[in-house]
Amino acid sequence: MISSGPANLPTIEWHHIHGVTLGPGQFLDLADTTPFITTKGHSATVLPCDNSGQPLVRLFAGIIDAGINTLESPNVEYLQQLSSPQDGLCVYHFDVGTTINNPHGVTDFAIINTRNNVIELTDRNTITLSITEGYKNKSD
């Protein structure tokens, strides 16, 4: 059974990810809610993008402790009205929750450079993560 988390469940994290350089295949762990399993929340990001609004890095959610293969790309929505692809900056958001590989919730949120070239994050790149529901993992 999944219920509302305890009073000390993390609720909001905001990251300014300026100056981070990611080579091909490298990832940046943005948040780890361990020992709490996150079941509901929301995320908004400003990431580098190409001229068509496609992100240059991909967002992932899952449980890194259980292996990188548990990470999945959430259903990310591109917010065209807030984005400037001509300047290489786009806004995306997604709902936090369960995933196919993690039906009971997730603990980790990351961005991964899935491109073949180095990506450098600028002073405009940010991520906000709001957690609204979760539970303590009994094995931790």
The count of structural domains within the chain is 1
Domain limits at 35?
12-135
CATH code for the domain in which residue 49 is found: 2.60.120
What Å distances lie between residue 97 and 5, 90, 120, CA to CA? 14, 23, 28
User: 95: closest CA among 105, 82, 87?
Assistant: 105
Within a domain: residue 91?
yes
Rounded Cα–Cα distance for residues 91 and 49 (Å):
9
Among 93, 9, 116, 117, CA closest to 44 = 93
Average the pLDDT over 95-108 and give the result: 87
Q: Examine residue 5 and state whether it is found in any structural domain, yes or no.
A: no
pTM of the model: 0.83
In a domain? residue 78: yes
Span 29-75, pLDDT tens digits: 888 888 888 899 999 999 999 999 999 999 999 988 756 678 898 98
- The answer to whether residue 2 is domain-embedded is no
In a domain, 98, yes or no: yes
For 80-97, the pLDDT digits (tens) are 999 999 999 999 999 988
Q: Is residue 43 included in any domain, yes or no?
A: yes
Q: Which residues of 21-52 are buried (b: 16+ CB within 10 A; e: fewer)?
A: ebeeeebbebbbbeebbbbbbebbbbbbbeee
Maximum alpha-carbon separation in the chain: 47
Residue 3 lies in a domain: no
Residue 6 lies in a domain: no
Count other Cβ atoms within 10 Å, centred on residue 112.
Answer: 18
